[in-house]
Amino acid sequence: MGIPGEHLNGVYSANEFLTRINLMHAYEFPKYDAPIVDFRGKNVAVIGGGNTALDSIRSALRLGAGKAFVLYRRSEAEMPARKEEVKHAQQEGIEFQVLTAPIEFLDDGKGWLAGARCQKMALGEPDASGRRRPVPIEGSEYEIPLSVAVIVIGTSANPIVQSTTPGLNTNKRNYIQADAATQRTSRKGVFAGGDIVTGSATVILAMGAGRRAAKSINDYLTSGEW
């Protein structure tokens, strides 16, 4: 996010937070002493409005968060999460603070997260994504106490592919370009599919691409033709 305080203990990325909860068994605390801030009974917020943000905050609620917030800089209409997810999260008591962006994470003086300073937003003209751009409202800053903040503002491809793999074409967002029917890339013998081609999407799309790629790989290996 590029705001002060992102380094504080208690500020997580979504994948780190969910990995600790699930794969490292924080949900079975104290049987598993998974390294995660004990937020039971305390305030937790996610920053972002996608499905992963809602996965994170609903997980936090299940693990005993006292109050759970979604802080999203656009309005509910622009939220990328599925409508059902939003509705279910609201039904579970998660509080949505829309048109709100954290501008600083606050330190408790010992390197732990104490809260966030937020700013209200208004919607301006559409940006490159086609969604209306959030514009900060001067003088609207306020503070919210938090023990945990989970930053969930999207993922992107690792740009290293371009420099390490000559002949493999990527697009301007560093995703690999692949033929939609065969999953072939621009580099002979290399096939690609799933999120690395489409950007963050779904399991079913990745599986479909995997099946198409498997068939194409088989065709290539048996015929020798590219």
In the complex, the residues that contact ligand FAD under the rule CB under 6 A are 14, 18, 51-52, 55, 194-196, 201-204, 206
CB-nearest residue to ligand FAD:
194
Closest separation in Å from C-beta 55 to ligand FAD: 5
Report the residue number, 52 or 100, with the smaller CB distance to ligand FAD: 52
Closest separation in Å from C-beta 8 to ligand FAD: 22
Report the residue number, 203 or 221, with the smaller CB distance to ligand FAD: 203
In terms of residues, how long is the chain? Answer: 226
Closest separation in Å from C-beta 32 to ligand FAD: 20
Report the residue number, 136 or 210, with the smaller CB distance to ligand FAD: 210
Report the residue number, 22 or 90, with the smaller CB distance to ligand FAD: 22
Closest separation in Å from C-beta 4 to ligand FAD: 26
Output the six-digit token pair for 69: 């917030």
